[in-house]
Amino acid sequence: MSDWDNLVEPTRAALEALIRKGDAQANRIEELEAKLARAVETLEFYAHVADYPFASRTLAELKGETNE
């Protein structure tokens, strides 16, 4: 066996670990996006239906519509 042959299994294991971590991070991002979408819906309700200024300001900030 060559030195290259000795690297195949550790490299494969490392690649599989990276893929698992990447998949876990992608799942977490999807969870956070869903939570953010629910938060935006709630802020939109309070901003437009209940007319709370704090909700309007926070919603504008989340959408990047601030005047700073």
Can you tell me the distance from the alpha carbon of 47 to that of 65, in angstroms, rounded to the nearest whole number? 14
Q: Are 60 and 66 in contact (CB under 8 A)?
A: yes
Domain ranges of the chain: 3-62
- Residue 67's pLDDT is 65
* C-alpha to C-alpha distances, 38 to 11, 20, 25, 41, 45, nearest whole angstrom: 41, 27, 20, 5, 11
List the pLDDT tens digit at each of the 68 positions of the chain: 688 888 999 999 999 999 999 999 999 999 999 999 999 999 988 888 877 888 888 888 888 887 65
- Residue 22's pLDDT is 98
